[in-house]
């Protein structure tokens, strides 16, 4: 027979729904119950402990929602009969911020402001202490009840999910990821798992992380050149920069597909919106032109923003009050507005018109890649909202984009938003075999490496379009977090691969 455990559900205490094993309700579930003195069990981590003369309060949080639940302990000898016993009181004295606990008691109306219910505690189990003062071999628990800088929290990324900010980001990421699947599944798109290890550079930008099992130290010692035929895959391989090319192979078979997976870029750009490892959503639609792609991108962003507003309201209001004032209203406006459209050429004209008073570090000219300062100017100053920019010069865009008849521009589209700049990049794809092959050659790439990709144009070619959305950029936009390293659990960037 198993020994009874403090984790066992209390008799008469409601269990969490849809589980075939017994766990008590999560705090977010508990907070929906009427405070009718029913028996409840709370499991979580202590955020704060407060003591009055005869009362002790533990605010317990389990990460299921922003709110914790207040657990009130009536100390022995207190004014109210039926308080906790001496043993519970002894356990309570060892509890501090960060400790893991199980509290049992009755769910009762709370006299305190800002919470409808609290737990009138009758029993307490301390599962794990989190010492507030350092002890031999254990430094003090670093997340004491005070404001910590985001930079400091990045250094303790393994514990930062226990803070309000990072708990909220994790919940929003989870909800948004689910919403992304909902959006595409409801529109006939199939989820395709494109490879993470690949031998093709999907963007042709040469920013790939090599994957090898060659003995680099031995190679360096011998001074020889690497022989990739002896490498694990028998050829040079790398982490994917985008699942697009493989997604295209499935779009030209299943009509509508999307990928949603990790992508990797070895760009040494130390900015607040670039990661070396990020998650990308890439829909690819057969028979769709650039104009259709633009509609899809706009609908998709609005769906995601509405989802955040509807289903992450409590977490969003935290970001609205603590991180970026007005973010909720801003999201609502964007979700209801019509996105502006602008050609690259018109965009450059606006930027040139702004001239020196805009104070650009990089002087704009036709042919230049838009810098983030330019993108921000176009969205924040010119359009005052999201804008879809089309018709970029072919020289600054990837080889696969469909060329316009002017010989200079491609059917590319970037969606730019205030605060961030580019959030989506996409295009109609070149579906003409000769033009695509010629472009690959012009760019000094080897058509033989893309033979399988060219087959899509050799056999049953169709117009098709797609785009890529950086998942972390969306989370940044929705939460107002300034640095992309704070919207992914474990950021990877140049010089940073902790944990």
Return residues touching ligand 4AD (CB under 6 A): 202-203, 242, 244, 265, 267, 274-275, 278, 280, 282, 422-426, 466-470, 472-473
CB of 466 to ligand 4AD, least distance (A): 5
CB of 355 to ligand 4AD, least distance (A): 28
DSSP state of 68: -
Q: What is the C-alpha separation between 479 and 473, in angstroms, rounded?
A: 10
By C-beta, is 425 or 480 nearer to Mg ion?
425
Q: Confirm or reject binding of residue 98 to Mg ion (CB under 5 A).
A: no
Q: Which of residues 189-228 bind Mg ion (CB under 5 A)?
A: none
By C-beta, is 107 or 370 nearer to Mg ion?
370
Question: Looking at the DSSP assignment, which residues form a beta bridge with residue 190?
Answer: 257
By C-beta, is 364 or 425 nearer to Mg ion?
425
Phi–psi pair at 214, nearest 5 degrees: -65, 150
By C-beta, is 69 or 481 nearer to ligand 4AD?
481
CB of 394 to ligand 4AD, least distance (A): 15
Q: Which two tokens stand for residue 20?
A: 């075939």
Q: Which residues contact 41 (CB under 8 A, 6 or more apart)?
A: 9, 10, 13, 24, 25, 102, 103, 104
Query: CB burial class (10 A; 0-12, 13-18, 19+) of residue 15?
Result: middle
Q: What is the C-alpha separation between 467 and 392, in angstroms, rounded?
A: 15
Q: Which of 68, 493, 113 is nearest to 266 (CA)?
A: 493
CB of 16 to Mg ion, least distance (A): 43
CB of 422 to Mg ion, least distance (A): 6
242 in Cβ contact with 282 (< 8 Å): yes
By C-beta, is 193 or 325 nearer to ligand 4AD?
193
426 binds, among ligand 4AD, Mg ion, none (CB under 5 to 8 A by kind): ligand 4AD
Question: Between vectors from CA 347 to CA 346 and to CA 352, what angle results, nearest 5°?
Answer: 95
Binding segment for Mg ion (CB under 5 A), chosen from 75-83, 308-316, 420-428, 444-452, is 420-428
DSSP annotation string for 358-393: G--SS---TTSPPPHHHHHIIIIIIISS-EEEEEEE
Q: What is the C-alpha separation between 82 and 66, in angstroms, rounded?
A: 31
CB of 267 to ligand 4AD, least distance (A): 6
Q: What is the C-alpha separation between 8 and 41, in angstroms, rounded?
A: 9
472 binds, among Mg ion, ligand 4AD, none (CB under 5 to 8 A by kind): ligand 4AD
By C-beta, is 169 or 474 nearer to Mg ion?
474
By C-beta, is 103 or 275 nearer to ligand 4AD?
275
CB of 351 to Mg ion, least distance (A): 18
Three-class SS of residue 301? helix
**Total residues at the site for Mg ion (CB under 5 A)?**
1
Q: What is the C-alpha separation between 48 and 67, in angstroms, rounded?
A: 13
Q: What is the C-alpha separation between 100 and 7, in angstroms, rounded?
A: 12
Burial 193-214 (b: 16+ CB within 10 A, else e): ebeeebbbbbbbeebbeebeee
Binding segment for Mg ion (CB under 5 A), chosen from 2-10, 373-381, 421-429, 447-455, is 421-429
Whose CB is nearest to Mg ion? 425
203 binds, among Mg ion, ligand 4AD, none (CB under 5 to 8 A by kind): ligand 4AD
Q: What is the C-alpha separation between 69 and 88, in angstroms, rounded?
A: 19
Q: Which residues contact 181 (CB under 8 A, 6 or more apart)?
A: 191, 260
473 binds, among ligand 4AD, Mg ion, none (CB under 5 to 8 A by kind): ligand 4AD
Count of residues in the chain: 499
By C-beta, is 250 or 467 nearer to ligand 4AD?
467
CB of 280 to ligand 4AD, least distance (A): 5
By C-beta, is 347 or 466 nearer to ligand 4AD?
466
CB of 428 to ligand 4AD, least distance (A): 10
By C-beta, is 74 or 472 nearer to ligand 4AD?
472
Question: Looking at the DSSP assignment, which residues form a beta bridge with residue 293?
Answer: none
User: C-alpha 216: how far from its chain's center?
Assistant: 34
194 binds, among ligand 4AD, Mg ion, none (CB under 5 to 8 A by kind): none
CB of 44 to ligand 4AD, least distance (A): 33
Judged by CB under 5 A, which of 179, 283, 418, 425 binds Mg ion?
A: 425
Please give the residue ranges that form the binding site for Mg ion (CB under 5 A).
Answer: 425
């Amino acid at each position: 027979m198993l020994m009874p455990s403090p984790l066992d559900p209390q008799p008469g205490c409601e269990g969490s729904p849809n589980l075939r094993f017994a766990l008590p309700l999560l705090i977010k579930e508990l907070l929906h119950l009427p405070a009718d003195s029913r028996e409840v069990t709370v499991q979580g981590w202590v955020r704060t402990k407060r003591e009055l003369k005869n009362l002790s309060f533990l605010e317990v949080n389990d990460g299921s929602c922003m709110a914790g639940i207040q657990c009130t302990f009536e100390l022995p000898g207190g004014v109210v009969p039926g308080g906790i016993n001496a043993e519970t009181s002894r356990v309570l004295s060892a509890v501090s911020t960060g400790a893991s606990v199980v509290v049992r008691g009755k769910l009762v109306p709370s006299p305190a402001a800002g919470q409808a219910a609290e737990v009138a505690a009758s029993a307490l189990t301390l599962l794990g202490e989190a010492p507030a003062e350092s002890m031999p071999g254990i430094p003090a628990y670093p997340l004491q009840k005070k404001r910590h800088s985001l930079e400091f929290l990045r250094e303790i990324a393994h514990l930062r999910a226990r803070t309000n900010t990072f708990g909220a980001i994790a919940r929003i990421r989870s909800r948004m990821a689910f919403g992304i699947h909902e959006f595409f599944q409801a529109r006939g798109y199939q989820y395709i798992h494109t490879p993470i290890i690949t031998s093709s550079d999907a963007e042709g930008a040469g920013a790939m992380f090599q994957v090898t099992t060659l003995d680099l130290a031995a190679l360096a010692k011998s001074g020889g050149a690497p022989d990739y035929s002896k490498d694990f895959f028998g050829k040079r391989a790398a982490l994917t920069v985008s699942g697009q090319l493989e997604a295209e192979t499935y779009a030209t078979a299943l009509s509508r597909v999307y990928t949603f997976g990790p992508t990797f870029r070895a760009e040494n750009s130390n900015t607040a919106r670039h990661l070396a490892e990020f998650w990308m959503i890439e829909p690819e639609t057969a028979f769709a032109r650039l104009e259709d792609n633009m509609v899809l991108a706009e609908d998709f962003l609005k769906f995601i923003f509405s989802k955040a507003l509807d289903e992450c309201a409590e977490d969003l209001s935290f970001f609205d009050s603590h991180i970026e004032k007005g973010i909720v209203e801003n999201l609502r406006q964007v979700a209801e507005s019509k996105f502006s459209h602008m050609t690259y050429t018109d965009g450059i004209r606006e930027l040139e018109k702004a001239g020196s008073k805009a104070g650009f570090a990089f002087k704009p000219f036709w042919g230049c890649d838009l810098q983030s300062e330019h993108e921000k100017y176009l969205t924040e100053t010119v359009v005052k909202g999201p804008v879809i920019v089309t018709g970029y010069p072919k020289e600054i865009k990837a080889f696969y984009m469909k060329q316009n008849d002017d010989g200079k521009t491609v059917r590319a589209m970037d969606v730019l938003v205030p605060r961030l700049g580019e959030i989506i990049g996409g295009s109609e794809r070149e579906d003409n075999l000769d033009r695509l092959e010629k472009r690959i050659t012009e760019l000094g790439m080897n058509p033989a490496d893309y033979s399988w990709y060219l087959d899509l144009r050799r056999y049953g070619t169709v117009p098709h379009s797609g785009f890529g959305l950086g998942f972390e950029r969306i989370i940044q936009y929705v939460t107002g977090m300034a640095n992309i390293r704070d919207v992914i659990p474990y950021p990877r960037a140049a010089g940073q691969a902790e944990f």
